[in-house]
Amino acid sequence: MLLLHAFPLSADQWLPQLHRVPLGFRFIAPDLRGFRGVGPAFEDPGLGHLSMDDYAQDVLALAAHLELDRFVLCGVSMGGYVAFALQRLAPGRVAGLILSNTRAAADSAEGRAGRDRMIDLARREGPEAVAREMVPRLLGKTTGESQPDLAEAVRRLIVVNSVDGIVSGLVALKDRPDSTPGLGQIACPALVITGDEDAIIPVSEAEVMTRGIPNASLVVLPKIGHLSNLEDPGAWSRAVEAGLNAM
């Protein structure tokens, strides 16, 4: 299974899952292009106006390098958008989809304007400001009250990124296509996971994907926000293991 992280984090988002891989499975968690930078001096000539297809092509190149003919794709939030792009590009390679805290729809006009504001903030004040703005919304209300240390852990995942990496990700998020029309053409089994306290993508979006994908099931985790695999790793991993065994 290839695990694709959320914006603006890194593959370290998957440490709880990488430490407890179900028997018989292999988990691979790459950093998406431009993430996990090395500070303000980080410059990558491969960054610029990236698209979800660009990230998906990177994942396909990794799979080719590792000689993976078929694999399950698991994406949280932005990772889910990359999973949709890869499934469009190479549907025969995807044995299953796990779509967590993500949506099929493109950004609304309001959402695109919010991306522009975040791009401006990142360029003016850097990753610390992005973390300050995003962390309170990434975690659910219950998590914020019961796991205060997790907010700092998420902040650290964000601030190691470069401004260029964050801005490139925001541009790709803002310009991504609507995947809703293609849901009915997804032939592989899918598991949709969300949290009932997700303040960024509501449960209704998970329900749209579950209804649209022919062979999909839905798990709603209670008292969990947008980063469900970090907020309740045990419950999230149990749902995923059951989904993998059913695929």
Contact (Cβ atoms closer than 8 angstroms) between residue 83 and residue 58: no
Q: What are phi and psi of 5, to 5 degrees?
A: -80, 170
Q: Which tens digit of pLDDT belongs to each residue from 67-83?
A: 999 999 999 999 999 99
Residue type, 65: H
What would the DSSP string read from start to end of 111-157? HHHHHHHHHHHHHHH-HHHHHHHHHHHHS-HHHHHH-HHHHHHHHHH
CA 193 to CA 217: how far, in whole Å? Answer: 9
Residues whose CB is less than 8 angstroms from the CB of residue 181 and which lie 6 or more positions away in sequence, other chains included: none
Give helix 109-125 / helix 127-138 axis angle, nearest 10°: 140
Contact (Cβ atoms closer than 8 angstroms) between residue 163 and residue 123: yes
What would the DSSP string read from start to end of 160-183? TS-HHHHHHHHHHHHHPPP-GGGG
- For the domain made up of 2-246, the CATH class stated in words is alpha beta
Peptide bond into 8 cis (omega under 30): yes
- pLDDT of 41 higher than 50: no
Q: Residue 44 — very low, low, confident or very high, per pLDDT cuts 50/70/90? A: low
Please report which residue ranges of 6-91 form alpha helices under DSSP H: 15-18, 52-65, 78-89
pTM equals 0.94
> Tokens at residue 91, please?
């549907």
Q: Which tens digit of pLDDT belongs to each residue from 181-215?
A: 999 999 999 999 999 999 999 999 999 999 999 99
**Domain coordinates in residue numbering, the chain:** 2-246
Q: Residue 38 — very low, low, confident or very high, per pLDDT cuts 50/70/90? A: very low
Q: pLDDT > 90: what percent of the chain?
A: 90
- Residues constituting the chain: 247
